[in-house]
Structure 1
Amino acid sequence: MIPPHQRVRGRVGMRGRFDSRRRRGHPSARKKEEDSLSPKDSRREFTLVETVEALAKRPVTIETLLTDDNLSKCHQQEQSPLFKLPAELRTLIFEYTALPFNDPNHEYDEKEYYYRPEHTARHMISTSVLLICRRAWLEASHLPMIQADHCFWLPEDGRRPKHLNSLRLREGARLDRFIRTLTINSRKNLDHIQIFGQMYWLEGSLYLGLPLLLGSFGACPKRLTITIRHSDWWHWEMGLPLELKDAWIQKILNWQALPRLREICVEFETLESHMSELRPILDKLRGKFAKNERLDHFGDRVFVELAPSPPERTWSGSTELGRWKHALYADLEKLDYRIVTLVWTVRPAGSKDAEEHIEMDGDCASMTHISGPELPVLSIDRPSKEDVGSTLSQMDALATEQKIAEWREQGSLLKFASVVAQERPRNATREASSWREECNV
């Protein structure tokens, strides 16, 4: 039999051990345990960049603009033969090193829908030249974005390269994510977008989703190419005559929300045996849309002029399209294609500030900062009228809020006040007063 005093002491000990286990889950207990951990026991140590950002309370970034101020902060590399060359020659060298090239590990099968002379393999760009030094970065960091091939195959996934299927995104969602995640400098350097679209999508969804997506996020390219392949025409697999409804072309030429767009190219591809059907369609388009006049978003007149002589090129491909043997081409060894390109040039006219508007390439990108509010995701595949209407109603408020967010980050009170006085955007007066109070102006 256990003595009474030992039984009491035993109960206290058990209760104490139980209470200590119960207190381990308490927040205060966890905090003490974390404080007592040594640096070796912690999950990870802070890097030098994270430490500097924590002390400076601002992100550590690298400058990308080639200005005298940024250039003076880096080593001039005067000992390097490369930087002893004239700037024009260095630019040519940097452009050559940043050209897209075919990836030998991702070559396309010539029987696929997306196989073409300029798309025989996955395109890649080497950015090794940007790692040479800070001066090379400042002079060439914009080239990969400018020279890259930004191609999208809409709307079906089966007509795009297979390596894109690993993203588990439809092409419309991939285009949407590409536009939304561009940085401000990437939006400024976005030069060209090419879209491969089937005829039913071009006639039904192109003019609804694409200008809204590019215009609202400030990622408008300077050149837009729309390619209609032989397998994109209506009833191509049955060998029926070519037909084209030109309403979507008219709406493309009337786009007002894309200020940086300077060139619109539409490529028409068909078989050499069908050129007699394509020629009347092209003649009709050239006569109807030789010169289109409209007003841009600045209120100035804009002329969209068609080039007088459309360029043509030819190529030959497999008779199996999409890895299917078609009865129409059973007696042929190869398919001979001809591509005719209609090019429209956008030219401002009738305004004293026309040249200034052309130089405002950066403004359309700066109006939409990536840290600002986002629009609802718009389905570029089949956008509904409700999506388009609700998104348009938010564009004005979105541009105003994102302007304020960017200027607040830059500390540009003078610029903010001057634009508020000129444009009077929604809620801008209230934001200006609060911004002045924060700055103690």
Structure 2
Amino acid sequence: MRKLYSHPKSPTPADIVADIGTSAMNAIAKLEISSEHGARGKYNDQAGSPLFSALPRELRDLIWAFATAPYEDPKAKFENTAYYYRPGHTARLKTETAVLLTCRRVWLEANAFPMMQAEQSFYYYRGAPDGRDPEWMARLTKHNSQNLGELHLFIQMGTIERLAGPTWSLRDYFLIHRPVRGDFQPRVFRLTIRHTDWWSWENDAPLRLQDTWVKALLDAPELRSTPILKLELETLDYKADQLAVIVDRIKKLESAERSSHYVGDYPTMTRFELADEQDTSTWEGPTNIDGRVRQAYKDKATLTYHVVTLTWNLRFTSLPHASVPGLRRASVALSPDQNPLAVDENWGRAEGGLKFWYSAILPRRREPRMTEWTEGMKRYHFMLRFWTQVRWISRRQAELGEAVRRRQFEESCGAVLERRWAARWEAEKSLLKFVGHRIP
């Protein structure tokens, strides 16, 4: 059953939280996440408060977003000569969560916003005091992992170049445990190369960057749940021309297509597409970086930094104008069982006449280059190939049957679910409504 949702064109919390579009399904996802904690049904509906009785849910979400937005703590300023000092990181980032303690009704609606809006910064060398580490990521609850907002990686050129190697992945910079579904899905991923992260910056060497790790970043399977990818390159103003050459080269890199999401019951290809406009900014800092004045800067009063930010958006290749929300991830197909199959001595009397097929088909296939194949090796090779095909056919039939049964179930329960959501939105004074299908 296909349903369409309407929503007013006023700004939504998604614009503030992650800048990932104005889809009503994002609001639905937030409601569902909050309901997992078992507190729904155990709260006072606060009918006497105009906040809940008069304001619609969308406006309340804007209030929660503003109340829990992170800010730079004026009581925890950084030294302006530190390696990590820059706009947006001049002090520790702080989030106020007092609003969540007012009542259960507020907590149910707003508990995801602090994590969704926070910027979690990881530094590989010369990090700030509020930097995170893989141990911190390992301590996150499932709820916090699902609501992870912006993940910001500050990293030196020599360290990020490992990403292009065959034995290194993006998650290795953040996680110390084995992969678990849903443990790495930030809404925004930002990677920053600071002026002090380039090769031989102390000697004022020319800028150089390998394209291989940028291509590996665009193709990273870990980011196929991340709608926005940002690459921030920072250098000094008199090297802007060198940086422009590198940026033009990066813009020509194309993201590989991956089957990463389900639309309905069908896996769909996604890829990162470069935004039309790049963001360029400048800022000024002292010449005594880390308390020392380098030879190249001794004649300068201040250093002017030139920053270029490239943005990629995750898109469906078959739906180029649609943004990718948090849909179901495509499951990884299990590889066939590689355990040796026991060859029965009476295998010729097996069901289906395997001995006949063995004698009729195997001689026509090209055998591996070996000095000599024994009869037992031929039988084992055939049985392994035969049962692998049988398992694949059986698994595919089960998947198709499950898809049909799921579609039949959704069609039969569609009206019930529609009534349930309509009643919930009405109770929350929400502006969301069903269109294109009426409740009988």
Preserved CA contact (<8 Å) 2:170 2:217: no
Paired letter, 1:228: I
Q: Which residue of 2 aligns with 1:328?
A: 296
From 158, 165, 171, give the equivalent of 1:211: 171
Distance 2:249 2:218 in 1: 16
**How far did 1:236 drift?**
0.9
Q: Secondary structure at the match of 1:293?
A: coil
1:246 equivalent in structure 2: 211
Q: How does 1:339-350 map to 2 (within 5 A)?
A: 339-350=307-318
Measure how far apart 1:89 and its partner are: 2.0
For the Cα contact (< 8 Å) 1:188–1:361, is it kept in 2?
no
Shift of 1:332: 1.1
2:49 aligns to what? 80
- The 3 A distance-change label for structure 1 pair 182 and 355 is farther
Q: Cα 1:361–1:180, aligned 2, differ >3 Å: closer, same or farther?
A: farther
Q: Per the alignment, in what secondary structure is the counterpart of residue 216 of structure 1? A: coil
Aligned-partner SS, 1:244? coil
SS of 1:268's equivalent? strand
Residue identity in the other structure for 1:284:
R
Percent identity over paired residues: 33
Of 115, 135, 139, 1:181 maps to 139
Alpha-carbon shift at residue 360 of structure 1 (Å): 2.7
CA contact 2:260–2:330 (8 Å) conserved in 1: no
Amino acid at match of 1:268: L
Aligned length: 294
Contact kept in structure 2, 1:293 and 1:301, CA below 8 Å: no
TM-superposition CA deviations, 1:369-399 (whole Å, max 9, x none): xxxxxxxxxxxxxxxxxxxxxxxxxxxxxxx
Bigger CA radius of gyration: 1
CA shift, 1:420, in A, is: 13
How far residue 256 of structure 1 moved from its aligned partner, in angstroms, is 2.1
What is residue 244 of structure 2 aligned with on the other side? 279
SS at match of 1:203: helix
1:337 aligns with 2:302: no
The answer to which structure has the higher helix fraction is 1
TM alignment of 1:135-214, pairs within 5 A: 135-154=105-124, 156=125, 159-162=126-129, 175-205=133-163, 208-211=168-171
Find 1:122's aligned residue among 92, 102, 110.
92
Evaluate the alpha carbon distance shift between residue 163 and residue 136 of structure 1 in structure 2; reply closer, same or farther with a 3 A threshold: closer
Question: Alpha carbons of 1:81 and 1:203: their partners in 2 closer, same or farther (altered >3 Å)?
Answer: same
* CA contact 1:100–1:147 (8 Å) conserved in 2: yes
Matched, 1:360 2:327: yes
> Does 2:259 match 1:296?
yes
Where 2:190 maps in the other structure, the secondary structure is: strand
Listed as ranges, the gaps of 5+ residues in structure 1 are 1-62, 165-173, 365-417, 424-441
How far off its partner does 1:419 sit? 13
Distance in 1 (alpha carbons) for counterparts of 2:241 and 2:322: 42
Partner of 1:225: 190
Q: TM-score, normalised by structure 2?
A: 0.60
Per-residue CA distance 1:38-69 (angstroms, 9 max, x = gap): xxxxxxxxxxxxxxxxxxxxxxxxx9615899
Contact 1:316 1:336 in 2 (8 A): yes
- Gaps of at least 5 residues in structure 2 are 1-31, 262-266, 332-394, 401-440
The superposition leaves residues 283-307 of structure 1 with CA deviations (integer Å, 9 ceiling, x where unpaired) of 1111x21x43322346643232111
- Distance, in Å, in 1 between the alignment partners of 2:273 and 2:330 is 25
Counterparts of 1:329-408 in structure 2, within 5 Å, are 329-350=297-318, 358-360=325-327
Question: In the alignment, is the contact (CA less than 8 A) between 2:235 and 2:305 conserved in 1?
Answer: yes
Distance change (3 Å), C-alpha of 1:266 and 1:140: same
Distance 2:128 2:164 in 1: 21
Distance 1:98 1:206 in 2: 38
Deviation at residue 136 of structure 1 after TM alignment = 0.3
Could you say if the C-alpha distance between residues 363 and 139 of structure 1 is closer, same or farther in structure 2, counting changes exceeding 3 Å?
A: farther
Tell me which residue corresponds to 1:429: none
Alpha-carbon shift at residue 105 of structure 1 (Å): 2.8
Q: Secondary structure of the equivalent of 2:58?
A: helix
